[in-house]
Amino acid sequence: MVAVLRPPTIPITEIEQSAFCRTDDDLSARSLEDEFDAGVRWQKLPLGYMRMKPDELDDRIAKARARLGDRVVILGHHYQRDEVIKYADFRGDSYKLSQLAASQESAESIIFCGVHFMAETADILSSPDQKVILPNLTAGCSMSDMARIDDVLDCWDDLQDVLGDESVVVPITYMNSTAAIKAMCGRNGGIVCTSSNAAATFEWALARGEKILFLPDQHLGRNTALKFGIELDKMIVWNPFKPLGGNTEQQVRDAKMVLWKGHCSVHTRFTVEQIAQAREKFPDVHVVVHPECTMEAVQAADSNGSTEYIRALVSDAPAGSVIAVGTEISMVNRLAAENPDKKVFCLDSVVCPCSTMYRIHPAYLSWVLDGLNEGVVVNQISVEDEIAEQARIALDRMLAVA
């Protein structure tokens, strides 16, 4: 059979990533009508919400939230803007919020201020009678968009065809993936991971198979594999737009790690040069980066870890510490404000918030809260039962190994 080449498709979320970049650190919310000028996809709202000023929205959200009481719980990812995260009952990284979503048994509705794959995960882990709401349906994830289920299934079939019974491949999908891909891992002996528990899931997988298929972020996969002593020449990158991922059959047989060709648009902005500049300016600086950064940046940093790890490192550092952080700017600015006795700054001088997280504008939160007060559920995220059942297998394994 002759392989058919497809032209690479760049996710629209990747193209839009630079839409909110600025050269200063003023990321205060404006009216949604003004922010529509950024030129990205937005979910349309009634005109009244779009024209509300930040102070008006703030007052409206507070009153609507108070009326709902414990009937609703709001989960906020660390990368959310301050005007939204202030209303989160719980904040954390995707792993911590997954645990919290599974434990919110009393709330009728879970409002997830994050992105689509997070809301899907909350729906899978929450009880059937709970409603999970994503304030803005266009809040996706460019990394997740880089792994389409059809391409992943083709990859899995190719690996089975080449390897046959000679070795067991264990699929690990990062939390930043669709429910369909989590389900694929669930039914094929695989597991979900986050940046918080990647090492634990690798240990789990390597006890069950000789090879790992890691998707969709090649950098987290590579950086974690190196910690386990897996050499670079035992890792291959799988490009879904090329036959056999751009590899030979022998390369597939020799590989210990098969890394999907995906990345985070935010974390790949951080470079070795930026780290060198930070060290030159502040000789005593501690550089901490997220493991979604490139291998070169991770190895040049002093430490690396999840957003929860970074938050704890900054909070626990002694007064007077100088800390350069390689992660999303909204979180870095918040850490700096919460730790005024330390100098905390972002490695990248160009301020680029996550363009998909940033789409949870206060106007959307106000809209969904008002709807709930009126008995109307908008933007409910519901995962198909069969996919949810299979995905939950992989998610439960993730929660168990941690």
For position 311, which CATH number holds? 3.40.50.10800
Tally DSSP H helices, then E strands, for the chain: 19, 13
Residue 21's φ and ψ, nearest 5 degrees, are -65, 140
Residues in the chain: 402
Q: Where are the alpha helices (DSSP H) in 207-269?
A: 218-227, 249-254
Residues 259 and 150 in one domain: yes
Q: Does residue 40 lie in a domain region?
A: no
In this predicted structure, which of 45-49, 203-207, 258-262 has the lowest mean pLDDT?
45-49
Distance CA 275, CA 48 (A): 45
Q: Does residue 401 lie in a domain region?
A: no
- Please answer whether residues 398 and 101 qualify as being in contact, where contact means their C-beta atoms are separated by less than 8 angstroms: no
Q: Where are the beta strands (DSSP E) in 156-218?
A: 169-174, 191-193, 211-215
Residue 202's φ and ψ, nearest 5 degrees, are -65, -45
Q: Is pLDDT of 78 > 90?
A: no
Distance CA 245, CA 319 (A): 49
Residues 190 and 227 in one domain: yes
Residues 149 and 260 in one domain: yes
Query: Considering its fold, how many domains does the chain have in total?
Result: 3
Distance CA 155, CA 234 (A): 18
Q: What is the pLDDT of residue 20?
A: 47
Q: Does residue 390 lie in a domain region?
A: no
Residues 149 and 255 in one domain: yes
Task: Band the pLDDT of 9: cuts 50, 70, 90.
Answer: very low
Q: Does residue 16 lie in a domain region?
A: no
Task: Band the pLDDT of 351: cuts 50, 70, 90.
Answer: low
Q: Which of 380, 398, 387, 361 is nearest to 116 (CA)?
A: 380
Task: Band the pLDDT of 5: cuts 50, 70, 90.
Answer: very low
Q: Does residue 39 lie in a domain region?
A: no
Residues 100 and 163 in one domain: no
Residues 239 and 324 in one domain: no
Distance CA 290, CA 217 (A): 12
Q: What is the DSSP letter of 114?
A: S
In this predicted structure, which of 29-33, 57-61, 105-109, 172-176 has the lowest mean pLDDT?
29-33
Residues 251 and 284 in one domain: no
Residues 211 and 315 in one domain: no
Q: Does residue 20 lie in a domain region?
A: no
Burial 273-287, CB ≥16 within 10 A → b, else e: ebbeebeeeeeebbb
Query: In this predicted model, what pLDDT tens digit does every residue of 206-215 receive, in sequence order?
Result: 999 999 999 9
Query: In this predicted model, what pLDDT tens digit does every residue of 129-165 receive, in sequence order?
Result: 999 999 998 887 888 889 999 999 999 999 999 998 8
Task: Band the pLDDT of 3: cuts 50, 70, 90.
Answer: very low
- Dihedral of CA atoms 381, 385, 391, 393 in degrees, nearest 10, equals 130
Q: Is pLDDT of 100 > 50?
A: yes
* Domain around 283: 267-346
Residues 151 and 86 in one domain: no
